[in-house]
């Protein structure tokens, strides 16, 4: 799967565990951000800037905005594919996601997260992404 205009992409596959479901074996809506997190970490690892490396570089990257559109329902034991696409990085990290059923390719969810750099020591939000992010991305895009 490819998202137009993405700079970098990856995907993960997840089998829906029982503890993520409601009594009707449907994934509770509040669990989807965790699936996005798994794919986001995989994407960040592609350019060696996962959360440990972020912290070591002196920056935290909190999510300041998240949008999720639920198109279909994921069910207990279903295998889903979570695609993550890096769309922006100059002033913020914008990552788009598409969750599909592994067996059918049917789209289940679309989402976007926005993260900004915060200087850990000064506790100040950065209005441009720090040079370390640019350096790491230049190696892979």
Domain boundaries, given as residue ranges, for the chain: 8-138
- CATH says 8-138 is which class? alpha beta
Residue 9 scores a pLDDT above 80: yes
* Sign (positive or negative) of CA dihedral 18, 20, 26, 32: negative
Its pTM stands at 0.94
User: Per residue in 59-75, pLDDT tens?
Assistant: 999 999 999 999 999 99
List of E strands, 7-105: 8-15, 59-60, 63-70, 79-88, 93-101
User: Per residue in 13-72, pLDDT tens?
Assistant: 999 999 999 999 999 999 999 999 999 999 999 999 999 999 999 999 999 999 999 999
């Amino acid at each position: 799967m490819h998202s137009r205009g993405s700079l970098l992409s990856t995907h993960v596959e997840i089998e829906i565990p029982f503890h993520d479901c409601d009594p009707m074996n449907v994934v509770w809506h509040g669990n989807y951000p965790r699936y996005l997190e798994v794919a986001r970490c995989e994407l960040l690892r592609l350019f060696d800037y996962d959360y440990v490396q972020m912290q070591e570089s002196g920056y935290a990257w909190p999510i300041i905005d998240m949008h999720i559109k639920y198109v279909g329902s994921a069910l207990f034991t279903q295998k889903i594919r979570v695609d993550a696409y890096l769309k922006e990085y100059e002033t913020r990290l914008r990552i788009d996601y598409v969750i599909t059923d592994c067996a059918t390719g049917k789209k289940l969810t679309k989402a976007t997260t926005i993260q900004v750099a915060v200087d850990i020591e000064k506790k100040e939000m950065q209005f441009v992404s720090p040079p370390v992010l640019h350096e790491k991305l230049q190696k892979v895009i």
